[in-house]
Amino acid sequence: MRVTETRAEIRLPTQELRNDLPFFTKTLKMRLDMIYPADNPQIAVLSGHGLRLRIEKGAREAPGTLRILTDDPDGFAEGQRLLTAPNGTRIEIEELDPPLVLPPTEHAFVVRRLADQAPWIIGRAGMEYRDLVPSRLGGAMIASHIRVPDGPVPDMVHFHKVGFQLIFCIRGWVDVLYEDQGGPRRLTAGDCFIQPPTIRHKVLHAADSIEVIEIGVPAEHITEIDHDMALPTPDLRPAREWDGQRFVHSLARDGTFRPFRIPGFEARDTTICANTRGVASVVVARPTGQAAPWTRHDGDILFTFVMSGGMVLEGQGKDPYRLASGDAFVIPPGMATRYGAPTSDLQLLEVTLPGAFRTEVLPGSPEDV
């Protein structure tokens, strides 16, 4: 049986081929595979760095731009990061795996209400995204309310280059495969995953109109497809770390409520602070029936999503906000706030970075301090 072979080429123009060949073969370290006609070459085909180029005299295409990614940019092309070939093609030399950049947080008091009808945007794998922090605090974080269509999800094995990533299930359920964590993991309402940086995973199936909250740090991060890894992987390694973080599958049914950082509330810890070595903390808080005082914190990021019930959020110098299920808010460090008039069924998802910070209980109103 004949096996079909297929190749693809990118065509670039040239005015004089003999000027381009030394540049592409010596400076860019590409291999010459074909050249013709012999008596007066007009076309050359070169390959290298996962690319195949056809340089053709008189071609009508623009010279274009080539980006070469290498783990030794200072040793490639004698350390030059930007070059121009004789034919006019722009060459950019970049890091193959650039370090993750965490932008400084632009602190702000943010309230995002479901009733404000923020648009749902179709994102990766057909999932619907609602932005909970439009400013993204200057790029420091992204918080998304995500709806996943019922049934199989057309997902591929992939990973994210992030500093921190949380998936918290609000309603419904979803099955996900994770690298070195065995078979499918089912996330149900009140459960959460922490996805350590670069852990490979794949969403399998969603049902019951699932909704999740996803937190990512920083806001803009890369998702890469892994075409080589098959999930599930053969090894079960629950203690494995990725950049100092462990995979966490926290189950709501196993949680124990203890006093919260704000009097008048109790909270269920998800163990994420311990398993990220203090990078972040994730808790579920609910009222105990006692009035909560005014407080302020000194953390960097404090994000809260109202999972059920309602409350009044009071902020120093701000009008009170009546919040309900589906609403979210961010409280900047140093700002005095109070969680007032909570309903008995109120449940708050609080995500903080770093995981450990100080909360000050004020003796009265902010004006009294």
Weakest mean pLDDT among 113-127, 239-253, 261-275: 113-127
Of 251, 281, 304, the position where a domain reaches its end is: 251
Domain assignment present for 243: yes
Of 251, 268, 303, the position where a domain reaches its end is: 251
Q: Considering only CA atoms, which of 222, 219, 232 is closest in space to residue 301?
A: 219
Domain assignment present for 100: no
- Report the CATH number that the domain containing residue 300 is assigned in CATH: 2.60.120.10
CB 215 within 8 Å of CB 303: yes
Kindly report, residue by residue over 138-165, the tens digit of the pLDDT: 999 999 998 876 667 788 999 999 999 9
- At CA 149, angle to CA 148 and CA 152, rounded to 5? 100
Check whether residue 82 and residue 215 sit in a common domain. Answer: no
Domain assignment present for 200: yes
Count of structural domains within the chain? 3
Of 251, 286, 320, the position where a domain reaches its end is: 251
Q: What is the pTM of this model?
A: 0.87
Check whether residue 351 and residue 285 sit in a common domain. Answer: yes
Q: Say whether pLDDT at 369 is over 60.
A: no
Check whether residue 230 and residue 180 sit in a common domain. Answer: yes
Domain assignment present for 1: no
Q: Say whether pLDDT at 1 is over 80.
A: no
Q: Round to the nearest angstrom and report the end-to-end CA distance of the chain.
A: 85
pLDDT interval class at 4 (50, 70, 90):
confident
Mean pLDDT value of segment 178-186 = 96
Check whether residue 245 and residue 263 sit in a common domain. Answer: no
Kindly report, residue by residue over 277-302, the tens digit of the pLDDT: 999 999 999 999 999 999 999 999 99
Kindly report, residue by residue over 269-278, the tens digit of the pLDDT: 999 999 999 9
Mean pLDDT value of segment 165-191 = 95
Check whether residue 132 and residue 24 sit in a common domain. Answer: no
Check whether residue 132 and residue 242 sit in a common domain. Answer: yes
Kindly report, residue by residue over 24-79, the tens digit of the pLDDT: 999 999 999 999 998 889 999 999 999 999 999 999 999 999 999 999 999 999 99
Mean pLDDT value of segment 219-233 = 94
Residues 6+ apart with CB under 8 A from 190: 169, 251, 252, 253, 284
Domain assignment present for 262: yes
Domain containing 84 equals 10-94
CB 308 within 8 Å of CB 252: no
Mean pLDDT value of segment 313-320 = 95
Check whether residue 117 and residue 246 sit in a common domain. Answer: yes
Check whether residue 38 and residue 169 sit in a common domain. Answer: no
